[in-house]
Amino acid sequence: MERGDLTADEWARLKPHLPKAGQRGARWVSHRRVINGILFRERTGVPWRDLPARFGPWKTIYERHRRWSADGTWDRILAAVLADADADGRIDWSMVSVDSTSCRAHQHAAGARKKPPRVPGKRRTPWQHRPDEGLGRSRGGLTCKIHLAGEGGRRPLAFLLTPGQWGDAPQLIPVMERVRVARQDGGRPRTRPDHLGGDKAYSSRQNRRYLRRRQIKHIIPEPKDQRANRKRRNEVERTINALKNSRAVATRYDKRAYIFHGTVTVAAIRLWLRP
């Protein structure tokens, strides 16, 4: 096992949730080797073509990541890992905090095709992403923004991508609507934390009405008293820092929004696999 590869414990947690080989076609190349290649690229930010030979053909690794990003496999794996964590009592629901972070887009992230690629045997349909691919101009240049809901243990529960110049307040409701952790006993998914924390950027009447309607206590200060109500705000900031330890998250190299969404999801999965 090389530095950054999945440990035995992490692999044991991840393996049950990976897709099985189909009835037709060639068998999957080793999931563990390919995922380790994806994690290496996440951690280092190297171009796919420059992946070390020990992971196998770079195109196999890239295509696995692209397909699993496109068909929602990474999202389903994250949902399953979250369900396991909740069953083990590893999710701190006492305080969920929201925040955002801007990711500088590499020059290679611009210029994506306007139509999705054609998959043999399937009808071409539009991707469920914004036509601008989540890229926008802000003070930092071409950027993408990650809006995040993190639990008290400093790990992500849900996120969404927007262009870098979009504001934070309008994204609170969409992010909270994505917090949905399934229960292994088949009950209703858990969607509501005990408290919600956010900084003054989320202070709006619409957001406060939404939280009151869902009976979620919140600590979202008005600008004049932000310091007095800061409390556990650093937890979500540390969650963002943990995600951006992956260079492929801190800097967006992916042209397509759905692939970058998969890249961020893989980073989130890795955080949940760790003890």
Q: In the chain, what are the domain boundaries?
A: 8-19+27-109+130-273
In Å, how far are 32, 134, 146, 161, 253 from 260, measured between CA atoms?
Answer: 21, 9, 10, 9, 8
pTM of the complete model = 0.87
Contact between residue 43 and residue 247 where contact means Cβ atoms under 8 Å apart: yes
pLDDT at 250: 96
pLDDT at 127: 40
Phi, psi values for residue 122, rounded to 5° = -125, 145
Kindly report each contact of residues 119-123 with a partner whose C-beta sits within 8 Å and lies 24 or more positions away, as own/partner.
Answer: none
Contact between residue 153 and residue 91 where contact means Cβ atoms under 8 Å apart: yes
Across the chain, where does the E strand assignment appear?
Answer: 96-105, 136-138, 141-150, 156-163, 195-197, 217-219, 251-252
pLDDT at 23: 43
The end-to-end CA distance of the chain, in Å, is: 18
pLDDT at 9: 96
pLDDT at 120: 60
CA angle 53, 59, 64 (to 5 degrees): 110
pLDDT at 224: 58
* DSSP code, position 165: T
> Would you state the structure tokens that stand for residue 273, as one six-digit string?
């696999």
How far apart CA 47 and CA 50 sit, in angstroms, is 5
* DSSP code, position 102: E
Q: What is the pLDDT along the chain (275 residues), one digit of tens a residue?
A: 788 999 999 999 999 999 886 544 445 668 999 999 999 999 999 999 999 999 999 999 999 999 999 999 999 999 999 999 999 999 999 999 999 999 999 888 876 555 555 556 655 544 434 456 888 877 768 899 999 999 998 999 999 999 988 999 999 999 999 999 999 888 899 999 999 999 888 989 999 999 999 999 988 876 654 454 456 768 889 999 999 999 999 999 999 999 999 999 999 999 999 88
pLDDT at 128: 39
- Measured on CA atoms in the order 24, 57, 246, 262, is the torsion positive or negative? negative
pLDDT at 45: 96
CATH topology (fold) of 8-19+27-109+130-273:
Nucleotidyltransferase; domain 5 (3.30.420)
pLDDT at 93: 96
* DSSP code, position 246: S
H/E/C letters for each residue in the chain?
CCCCCCCHHHHHHHHHHCCCCCCCCCCCCCHHHHHHHHHHHHHHCCCHHHCCHHHCCHHHHHHHHHHHHHCCHHHHHHHHHHHHHHHCCCCCCCCEEEEEEEEEECHHHCCCCCCCCCCCCCCCCCCCCCCCCCCEEECCEEEEEEEEEECCCCCEEEEEEEECCCCCHHHHHHHHHCCCECCCCCCCCECCCCEEECCHHHCCHHHHHHHHHCCCEEECCCHHHCHHHCCCCHHHHHHHHHHCCCHHHHEECCCCHHHHHHHHHHHHHHHHHCC
pLDDT at 121: 61
